[in-house]
Each structure stands twice: as C-alpha cells, then as structure tokens.
C-alpha cells in the first residue's frame, strides 16, 4: 500500500564541506538540488562557500496532515532511510533514488508516494462487500509505518488525476482501434460481400463487405 508523502529539505551545519553533500539553488525560477563535489575544511574558504551556496540540506519525508491540526503532520521517513525508487508497474526492479528523481518530485511540489505496512481486517457483520478490508498499519501514535527494505523506504512519483484520465483516454482509443475492423464490416454478409445465393452480391453492402454503402448498388436490386 502506498500513501502520499511530501519531501521536506532541512539544512544542517557541518564542520566541513565534502563531496556527496546536497545544496539548493534557484534555476529557471525552480528550486533544485545540486552536488558541488568539493572538499573544504579551511575556515575562511568554508565561510565564503556558505555565504554563496548556503548550508547543505537533507531530505526527509513527512505526512502532510490538516494545517489546523499540527499533530496530524509528522515525520514518516528520516534522511537516513531514503530510499529506493520504484519506477512503476512496467518493472520489478528498484534503484537508489537519484538527485534527478528528487528534483522531479520537488518540481511536483515535493509530493511522492511511500510504501507502508498494511494488514487485512476481517469482518463478521458484513461491514464490507467481501467480508474484509485492507488497512494501513499504524504505530502507537497513530502514524503510518513505512516498509523498509535493507533499511530504506520505497518511493515512487505522486499520481495525479490527470494521469488516470490519460490512461482512461488511452484505453478508450485502444478499444476504438480494436473495434474499427468490426465496425466497418457489413453485418448482413459478415464481410464476405456474397448474397443469399451463389453468384449474387449482398444487397446491403453491394458486394463490398463494408458496412458503409457503396457508391453504386448492384443492378439486380435497382428499382
């Protein structure tokens, strides 16, 4: 089961700047992550670098609750458990989430989906149609519990309603394509163009086998 989470980038103050640290920058009016890959431990160089680039940041994933209820928002995944990236249903393979994928998520407002623990609850009083329901597992604070594989959570892109609409439109187009041949076939002769007796032509399609009337009808059926 996946739930919606939100990436939050929090800055921290290290003793030195080392490769692998992530920083924020403004690029084409968007905030993006980048990795300068520098090593700086000299105090003056450190201060000069921070004045230009700011302090490094770490990604965390939060559950965004009701803004009027502060306790409904909470940390779901700390930076130490981020994370595997699930590319979608077309593949079973996952990989370490990349900076590019996090930037794509940030461009989407920071929203993503996180896989959490789930359980099956059975009912004896017909509260559900199938007699059971799949529900998320919660800890003693009522917080979702992320699934951790080798100590890391699984992340995938956030799905919009637009995505579902596009998939639905594609399915409709595929169905229409599948029906094109059937829709243009004459229902009277099943596309053979033959009439009721040998050597005659279908009086509906005029021998074309097409559901659309031919330009010239068979002379045998002219008034």
Q: Where are the domains of the chain?
A: 2-159, 167-221
End-to-end CA distance of the chain: 69
Residue 221: what pLDDT? 43
On whether the CB atoms of residues 156 and 89 are closer than 8 A, the answer is no
Residue with tokens 């009808």: 217
Sign (positive or negative) of CA dihedral 31, 34, 38, 41: positive
The torsion angles phi and psi of 22, rounded to 5 degrees, stand at -110, 140
List per-residue pLDDT tens for the chain, 223 residues long: 899 999 999 999 999 999 999 999 987 778 899 999 999 999 999 999 999 999 999 999 999 988 888 888 999 999 999 999 998 777 778 999 999 999 999 988 999 999 999 998 877 765 555 677 888 999 999 999 999 999 999 999 987 544 544 555 555 565 555 555 445 677 777 778 776 665 566 766 766 777 654 444 444 444 4
Residue 97: what pLDDT? 94
Residue 161: what pLDDT? 46
Whole-number Å distance between alpha carbons of 223 and 206: 14
Q: Check: pTM over 0.75? Answer yes or no.
A: no
Q: Which of 17, 5, 47, 51 is nearest to 154 (CA)?
A: 5
């Amino acid at each position: 089961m996946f739930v919606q989470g939100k990436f939050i980038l929090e800055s921290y103050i290290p003793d030195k700047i080392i490769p692998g640290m992530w920083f924020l920058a403004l690029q084409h009016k968007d905030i993006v992550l980048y990795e300068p890959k520098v090593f700086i431990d000299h105090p003056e160089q450190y201060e000069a670098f921070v004045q230009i680039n700011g302090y490094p940041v770490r990604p965390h994933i939060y559950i965004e609750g009701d803004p009027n209820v502060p306790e409904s928002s909470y940390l779901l995944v700390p930076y130490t458990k981020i994370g595997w990236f699930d590319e979608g249903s077309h593949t079973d393979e996952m990989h370490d989430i990349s900076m590019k994928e996090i930037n794509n998520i940030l461009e989407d407002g920071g929203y993503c989906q996180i896989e959490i623990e789930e359980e099956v609850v059975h009912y004896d009083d017909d509260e559900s149609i199938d007699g059971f329901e799949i529900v998320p597992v919660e800890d003693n604070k009522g917080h979702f519990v992320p699934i951790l594989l080798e100590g890391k959570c699984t992340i995938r892109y956030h799905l919009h309603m637009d995505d579902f609409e596009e998939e639905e439109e594609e399915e409709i187009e595929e169905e229409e394509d599948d029906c094109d041949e059937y829709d243009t076939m004459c229902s009277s002769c099943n596309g053979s163009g033959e009439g009721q007796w040998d050597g005659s032509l279908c009086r509906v399609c005029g021998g074309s086998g097409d559901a659309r009337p031919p330009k010239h009808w068979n002379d045998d059926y002219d008034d």
